[in-house]
Structure 1
């Protein structure tokens, strides 16, 4: 067997989540790379994004250009855009072969022009183009719906905005399509629809142009004077250029299975076969039938004085096909728009799967009762893979829409659903309740922002229905319980049992982890150590400034720096290089950068743990119980969000259990005190561990007893067999 080709190697590396130079891709990119599109699928996407109802405006452009100039502009537009799109495709292929596959227009701009151009110029322009296309499609669809309404009900009084709103609701449903690649079947239908309404429009033009009552044909250039005619020429060129426009070439090419070589060109050929067929036939037939009386869209020429001048059934078909294709065009241009908006509302590069991701997993269902752990994020999988016992299946959560939920529940047939913290999914909860499946919300919490959103008149109706379907709510605190009651959660299902985040002490380290801990303890035994855990971007600079001050007093001091997100390790490393600080990854020099999956091991080898996500406004803290569980002296910043209840609980047991500092200066002084006073350090370590032991004692049993009490019934036999296993 011969050696694998470069293309085969590229394919394997892409599918593994890396590129050909070893750079790991973020979870959102990995999700895109799961697409296995062919050149045919590319052709469908391209056709939908280019061949859209605005082509019905081409006769209007001809009215300002005339026959010769109109045809020349149409031919030049086809040639230039085909060449340009193919050139962009070749550039993308070239970078993919070099190991830098670019999945979005702004990625391409960032790689070629620089991050400033990508973020502040190309990205915003693409967003505006795509968002504008969606708005235009929505307005045109509203007009088509109103035209259909008037054909069926002449003299109807419903306003245009009503139809626009109806189409907007329809678009919200279509927007739930999980990825660009999942639109391939929709876009195949769209291709057929654009051919259908184009041919119908051509037939209507021929019918009307050759009838006895045909409008008088005048092929002179439209415009009362030279100024109007010049303006008309530029307007016509803009119409033609816009009709050929496409702002999502990289996004379409990203749906192709690697290697991508040559596939985009075939897709472009398919697309432009449809382009030439529709654009030229509509432009020529429309201008032939109406001359310089061509309206902004052919559909306006087919209606005169509110009455159809072609057979109503033919006009109805054209309007209907146009309406249906507009929905496909809009959802295509929603893809990059959604990606930008999601990026503003969350952190798509933080190792997360898109919330729209369908469930995925390779473990087959077990016929016996076995628990299944669900997550909408990828990062927990790396942490849990070595912790979950045999018989537990780790599964990504499905898309919260009716079809996905029905399929998911029908496939796994759960007896009980446990949701954590703020994971409220309406379709999942309501569907499970209808099937008499118990749903429990553990560690229940709700942020002020979410509470205000749910408290709106519409939101309150939905959340009250949703909460009424739950079997049990175990809130984090009394404050959280009050919020749920204000949202009309039934008081009888709200019960306290403690914070499950204290259950971290119930999981022992594995053999490999124990060996690694002992090795690190031996290496660090002769040096003072402190750790900064779950550090966010921007906080690393605070930590490094503090460490820089500390090593003046303790030259042998070691800092273990653990960024919150693995992607930040590179940024921290670059900062350290600029500051000429000695460091290695997972080693024993001045600074050690690691990742969140090693936190528990590293807490066991450091006497002091500073918990990040708390030193900058806008952050909301992280779990402090993991550090307290192993006896670290715990410190945190001022911004701790809902974790404040944990601080209060531990302070009530021992005021020295957690030290909360107001900022960089207080952090430095607190660290100086602990590093310089072994008795103070031991007192804080003992206080943290004692407080944790007190708070964690029996929390799992209390939660489980409540769950069994409120979900017992038809599942009695199931729970009996499960709890005894």
Structure 2
């Protein structure tokens, strides 16, 4: 009965989506007006290709946003070395920018088609992928079903299911099983994630660790770093990075609390969504704080209180300006953000307690002594003050964090091993077609 229900629901989803397709244009235009869609390339969201399909085997790689894109860059670079074509889809403007900066013309970038049958079918008709690799927790029913109907192997890599997602799918286990049975393989981030996917019917499931650990350290423009280091001089600094609404206010509170003890303190605030920078500058200025914005290339003066990092793709710059970093979406909102980059780049990591989405990474960092959790703004101020005052404790945390990240490495090799049965035939096909082309 449950299997019949699942099929009925998915069939309804398919036809409701097809019926809604002609009316979706207004929504996309509205999102483009908000800067959430690329106005020039929004036709790609309907499955219309922006490039011709190259000859030879082709892998469709999907990474929803910036974090997922950064996670799969190493994997993509490895696959490109085999001479296989890759079309990379992402869902956000910022992730498209990251893909262009880090991969250039090595891959074909497209915006992911809407999960509606006409868009997905048009996309697949054009690109005809030999393999689909999806990153993290992207579960799009129509895309999965259409790939399944075409017998295209689908592999979920760096797979993760948050507490909320798992509970939601568990209540609809029959639906999850009807979808997950289409997946050829799930490569999960942790044992917890792996067991969750198995519970929902995915087979086979292997555990790789987090691909984000095996990515290269975020790049930095050396000239920009040298300029800011000269402007900051020997001032004490701390950073609040990947912050969400409300956490910037907490960071400003921390700055004001510590100002009397650290008169030359510079607070670096890097909001997860830079489009909020105007409102944040207005808020800080109203409090009497002097703000320098990176997007305007403002000079950090002696009287500057806050450097507002309102740019995309410069996390490597901001983290290299400090040795103490609070990682956001962990005090005001839940889920957390990835602490691996701050730990790798040599900061003592502080975070709120709501880090369910990165539970395994935080557990290992905390156990090693490279990260500490704080309950609220008061405790954050105390943690920042302690680390600024104690060079030895700060350096011990930094060293422990780097060691923990090194211990977590290896996910890329384990992922490649899991992918080998699907990749190897494409390598052979690519070489054979190459030989025929030269014959």
Q: Same fold (TM over 0.5)?
A: yes
Deviations 1:232-268 (CA, angstroms, capped at 9, x unpaired): xxxxxxxxxxxxxxxxxxx9xx97xxxxxxxxxxxxx
Contact 1:359-1:395 within 8 A present in 2 as well: no
Distance in structure 2 (CA, Å) of the matches to 1:359 and 1:169: 16
Deviation >3 Å, runs of 4+? 166-173, 348-357, 359-365, 718-722
Q: Quick check: which one's helix share is greater?
A: 1
Q: Pick the aligned partner of 1:706 from 393, 418, 422.
A: 418
What pairs with 1:188-203 in structure 2 (closer than 5 Å)? none
How many residue pairs get matched?
Answer: 384
Contact 1:355-1:376 within 8 A present in 2 as well: no
RMSD: 3.0
Q: 1:648 to 1:606 in 2, by over 3 A?
A: same
Aligned counterpart, 1:465: 178
1:495 aligns with 2:340: no
Contact 1:178-1:356 within 8 A present in 2 as well: no
Aligned counterpart, 2:326: 610
Gaps in structure 2 of 5+ consecutive residues: 1-10, 57-83, 434-439
What pairs with 1:593-608 in structure 2 (closer than 5 Å)? 593-595=308-310, 596-608=312-324
Contact 2:21-2:118 within 8 A present in 1 as well: no
Aligned counterpart, 2:219: 509
Q: 1:452 to 1:175 in 2, by over 3 A?
A: farther
Contact 1:661-1:667 within 8 A present in 2 as well: yes
1:367 aligns with 2:83: no
Q: Pick the aligned partner of 1:715 from 410, 419, 426.
A: 426
Post-superposition offset of 1:721: 8.9
Q: Pick the aligned partner of 2:107 from 369, 372, 392.
A: 392
Q: Quick check: which one's strand share is greater?
A: 2
Distance in structure 1 (CA, Å) of the matches to 2:124 and 2:142: 11
Aligned counterpart, 1:455: 170
Equivalent position SS for 1:559? strand
Equivalent position SS for 2:207? coil
Q: TM-score, normalised by structure 2?
A: 0.79
Aligned counterpart, 2:334: 619
Contact 1:405-1:428 within 8 A present in 2 as well: yes
Gaps in structure 1 of 5+ consecutive residues: 1-165, 182-250, 256-338
Distance in structure 2 (CA, Å) of the matches to 1:692 and 1:351: 33
Q: 1:507 to 1:540 in 2, by over 3 A?
A: closer
What pairs with 1:120-131 in structure 2 (closer than 5 Å)? none
Which one has the largest radius of gyration? 1
Post-superposition offset of 1:518: 2.5
Contact 1:612-1:621 within 8 A present in 2 as well: yes
1:179 aligns with 2:24: yes
Distance in structure 1 (CA, Å) of the matches to 2:430 and 2:387: 49
Distance in structure 2 (CA, Å) of the matches to 1:719 and 1:169: 34
Q: 1:351 to 1:599 in 2, by over 3 A?
A: farther
Aligned counterpart, 2:247: 539
Distance in structure 1 (CA, Å) of the matches to 2:360 and 2:387: 25
Q: 1:431 to 1:714 in 2, by over 3 A?
A: farther
1:580 aligns with 2:296: no
Q: TM-score, normalised by structure 1?
A: 0.49
Distance in structure 2 (CA, Å) of the matches to 1:352 and 1:641: 29
Deviations 1:206-242 (CA, angstroms, capped at 9, x unpaired): xxxxxxxxxxxxxxxxxxxxxxxxxxxxxxxxxxxxx
What pairs with 1:167-566 in structure 2 (closer than 5 Å)? 173-177=18-22, 179-180=24-25, 351=36, 357-359=45-47, 362-368=50-56, 369-456=84-171, 459-490=172-203, 493-504=204-215, 506=216, 509=219, 513-566=221-274
Contact 1:351-1:565 within 8 A present in 2 as well: no
Post-superposition offset of 1:477: 1.6
Post-superposition offset of 1:716: 4.5
Distance in structure 1 (CA, Å) of the matches to 2:93 and 2:47: 12
Deviations 1:630-670 (CA, angstroms, capped at 9, x unpaired): 11111111111211211112234x1x211111111111111
Equivalent position SS for 1:553? coil
Q: Pick the aligned partner of 1:669 from 382, 390, 393.
A: 382
Distance in structure 2 (CA, Å) of the matches to 1:646 and 1:721: 42
Deviations 1:574-595 (CA, angstroms, capped at 9, x unpaired): 1111111111112422211123
Post-superposition offset of 1:626: 0.9
Post-superposition offset of 1:167: 11
